[in-house]
Structure 1
Amino acid sequence: MQKQHLSLALLITLPFVLATSVWAYSQNNSQNKLIFAEDFENGDLSKWGKTVDTQFKNKKFTPPGKEDCCQYSVQIATSPTNPSDRVAKFTLYRNDPDVSGSRRSELRLNAVARNSEYWYGFSTYLPADFSKDRSMEIISQWHSKPDKNLGENWRSPPLYLKSFNGHWQIARRWDSKRVTTKNTPEGKETIDLGAYQTGVWTNWVFHVKWSHQADGLVEVWKNGKLVLRKTGPNTYNDNIGPFQKIGIYKPDWKYRPHKSKITQRVVYYDNVRVGSDRASYKDVAP
């Protein structure tokens, strides 16, 4: 009877044990797909000072961190929609001093390997007073490092999300040539994603297979809806891949000040995630 009782107990508990084990494996496996996760709840920005991708550490160029001029530029703040939630608040004024050659308030992750694949997710919030301006600002960008040993200088990012005159837009540039100068990429385009909404959070997911050749891929979801899918080249033919930056970059305030009629920009960020090539939409979606 005792053996039968033990066997019965095992039969009763085994499904629960197996289910718990599968759930735990699934959770751990999902977490392993995430390279970086930031919800700003810890109250500091220390994560942005560490190498993100352990498979590709490049300490000689673009360590993760901040690109800001002032104490108010990047702050941990209370969410404008939830008083119990912490988020990142980016503030940029027209007369702020230059940072890295222009007007910006950004957080930066480190570069990835060339021909690599990543998933990126984040939420953005434009305040109610985020007025239309016929001068664009970049809200998130994936920049590339020029191969200066080949004579290259800094160029426009191969991929970026911007706000322009009341709309969201995606801008892309690519070049298979070994040397790319500022004004000679093989291809470029801007895709309009419709009017932006203020006073609400917008959720973004980017899936990119970085490549300067035909095997490249860019997919973009806005609030759960696929709004862009492009195959083919999507970056420059550089030694290393791009690095992501979030925040505000408004170059016209330095180079074409007559185009802008405003004096301040504020943007909020939350739920920033980066997934490896083993990740999926659900792993990074806000």
Structure 2
Amino acid sequence: MTILFDGRFNTTPNFSLYDRIERSPLPSIPPTISSSEAGSYEIVTDPLGSGSPVAKLTMKSAPLGRCEIRPFARDIVAAGPDYGELWYAWWDLFPAEWVDEIPGPADPESNLLSGSKDIIAQAHSADDVTDRPHFPHFAIYVEGKKLKFLRTWDTAAQTTTAAPNLTVHGSWPLEKMRWIEWVLHVNWAASSNGFFHLYKDRRLVYSETNAPNTYNDAEGPFFKCGFYKFFSSLSPAVRMRYSKGVVIGDSTSSYLEVTGHSALETATIRRVS
């Protein structure tokens, strides 16, 4: 079993392991051991009183606001359309002062989505030169008082729409002042060889096998978490939450290895030869 990236802040209490911190309208930066900026990204003590260091990520109102931590430039250095299998784990806490935003008008690309959503984790890939810029192939987001996630994918060599095969899943109450544990076990593929298993708080909440789950792009997927949002005139001026960090394991890893404990439910994987 192999851990490819361990960015938990209780073991490395700074941002130096991450490839970059993506911000907007401020510039994205490659972090160092001393990197910290009050009101943007900083290391603080767990607000629940454990004493462990955690990240405090803050995003301020802008046409496009962003503050995301990104472990790798690319999670898998391999050619598609079948990129490979990974385990991801990450943890979120919403503060008591989090303001529930009333969902705004529909996203211009799809009436399945609100234009005022807060994306808090996403897996993306770089568009090919001839592609239309596309959505992330996976994103967890806040809409009103709910947590949801979206998926998109395209097996075509050239993507011509922004959100092909878009589906929306989940509808969990957004709970404040409680750590949420997310785990994604996935075989990224723009073919029927893909599988996708999402866990929330140790329970399997979504499972799909033998199906595409990403884009047929030259460069493979990358993951990041934090905040990404198009602010409206009705949006809160500031968004802030806490993170314990990100862990990524390879195909030989497990739920136990990336989190330190076992899942309460497991998925049965049927691989396609």
Structure 1 match to 2:219: 240
**Separation in 2 of the partners of 1:162 and 1:190?**
10
**Separation in 2 of the partners of 1:38 and 1:144?**
21
Structure 2 match to 1:196: 174
Structure 1 match to 2:93: 125
- Whether contact under 8 Å (1:212, 1:234) holds in the other structure is yes
Give the one of 62, 65, 72 matched to 1:103.
65
1:131-150 residue pairs with structure 2 within 5 A? 131-133=99-101, 134=103, 135-148=116-129
Structure 2 match to 1:86: 53
Q: Secondary structure at the match of 2:17?
A: helix
Runs of 4+, deviation exceeding 4 Å:
none
Q: Secondary structure at the match of 2:204?
A: strand
Q: Secondary structure at the match of 2:176?
A: coil
How many percent identity over aligned positions?
Answer: 29
1:114-263 residue pairs with structure 2 within 5 A? 114=80, 115-133=83-101, 134=103, 135-148=116-129, 151-183=130-162, 185=164, 187-231=165-209, 232-250=211-229, 252-253=230-231, 257-258=232-233, 260-263=234-237
**Separation in 2 of the partners of 1:155 and 1:200?**
33
**Which letter maps to 1:183?**
A
Structure 2 match to 1:59: none
Computing the radius of gyration over CA atoms, which structure comes out larger, 1 or 2?
A: 1
**Which letter maps to 1:248?**
F
Q: Secondary structure at the match of 1:210?
A: strand
Give the one of 40, 52, 56 matched to 2:9.
40
**Separation in 2 of the partners of 1:180 and 1:285?**
35
- Whether contact under 8 Å (2:152, 2:163) holds in the other structure is no
Give the one of 230, 238, 245 matched to 1:264.
238
Structure 2 residue runs of 5 or longer lacking an equivalent are 28-36, 104-115, 261-273
**Separation in 2 of the partners of 1:118 and 1:79?**
28
CA shift for structure 1 position 181: 2.9
**Separation in 1 of the partners of 2:49 and 2:204?**
27
Q: Secondary structure at the match of 1:139?
A: strand
Structure-2 change in CA distance of 1:65 and 1:75 (3 Å) = same
Q: Secondary structure at the match of 2:225?
A: strand
**Separation in 2 of the partners of 1:156 and 1:196?**
23
**Separation in 1 of the partners of 2:160 and 2:56?**
34
**Separation in 1 of the partners of 2:53 and 2:179?**
14
- For these two proteins, the number of residue pairs brought into alignment is 227
**Separation in 2 of the partners of 1:131 and 1:244?**
26
- Whether contact under 8 Å (2:155, 2:215) holds in the other structure is yes
CA shift for structure 1 position 168: 1.0
**Which letter maps to 2:258?**
V
- Whether contact under 8 Å (1:67, 1:106) holds in the other structure is yes
Q: Between Structure 1 and Structure 2, which shows a larger proportion of helix residues?
A: 1
Structure-2 change in CA distance of 1:178 and 1:167 (3 Å) = same
CA shift for structure 1 position 239: 1.3
**Which letter maps to 1:90?**
L
**Separation in 2 of the partners of 1:183 and 1:66?**
25
Structure 1 residue runs of 5 or longer lacking an equivalent are 1-29, 49-63
- Whether contact under 8 Å (2:135, 2:163) holds in the other structure is no
* Root mean square deviation of aligned Cα: 1.7
**Separation in 1 of the partners of 2:163 and 2:250?**
31
1:280 aligns with 2:250: no
**Separation in 1 of the partners of 2:89 and 2:188?**
16
TM-score, with length taken from structure 1 = 0.75
Which deviates more from structure 2 when the two are superposed, residues 68-77 or residues 218-227?
68-77
